[in-house]
Chains A and B, each alone.
Chain A
Amino acid sequence: MLDTKYKNDILTIKLKGEIDHNSASSLRTAIDSQINALRPKILELDFSGVGFMDSSGIGLIMGRYRSMGLIGGKIKVINVPENIGRIISLSGISALGVLK
């Protein structure tokens, strides 16, 4: 279901559709299993294909920030569309240095 790419220790995951409480739990499991299998240095979450996101998406990003921290890696949030940019800036996660 996830569109993933792994190259030079960078795992890029392209998220699609709507991210809410309903979809976040399966996304969380799928992303974490990729992290554990590949142990990348950087996880890039690409939001270009996300049409809707509520605060469940913020929880998803913060949770993966922790997952990557546990294996000594970093997370980058890339290609944020305008419609979800507001919730991302409101959340204050930019202070974690995750936005590219």
Chain B
Amino acid sequence: MNIINEMHLKFISKSTNEGFARSVVSTFILELDPTINEIADIKTAVSEAVTNSIVHGYKRESGMIYIDAKITQNKKVIIKIRDKGVGIENVEKAMEPLFTTSQQEERAGLGFTVMQSFMDNVKVKSAPNKGTTVTLEKQIISVR
């Protein structure tokens, strides 16, 4: 895998940073000349992962969220979103459509479903008190 560009971002788990994070990532991939739909897919998937870190990973506490993004020579985007929060006990359960642990906050339980539908590949690495790392991959085709 030949990496032609990469970036690293570190920010506090504040909900105002959700928009900041997805904007940075979508701007970073512009060199691949993505379509509007490809940009929207990536923005939405990043927003879901960052929101999960804020709402579930750190809950009401404050912590750092890390994004590492890479672009390969064959136009693949690899985005890693990582937190050092509470982690997920049962990743398989968390990834089920409509499963949510925060009913009061009106979470739809669709975060992982959206990531899986909008990206080519989604990997989740997590353990209780070890934080969570979500890796998102998408091949940019830019066919208009």
Interface residues of chain A, those whose CB is within 8 Å of chain B, are 18, 20-22, 24-25, 28, 52-56, 58-60, 62-63, 83, 86-87, 90-91
Contact = CB atoms under 8 A, between A and B. Distances in A.
Given A20-B47, A90-B117, A60 B106 contact: yes
B30 interface: no
B32 interface: no
B48 A55 contact: yes
B27 interface: no
Contacts, number: 64
11 contacts: A21-B15, A21-B51, A25-B105, A28-B106, A54-B44, A54-B114, A55-B110, A55-B111, A56-B106, A58-B108, A86-B118
B113 A56 contact: no
B43 interface: yes
Nearest to A55: B110
A21 to B, nearest CB: 4
B15 A55 contact: no
B25 interface: no
B19 A24 contact: no
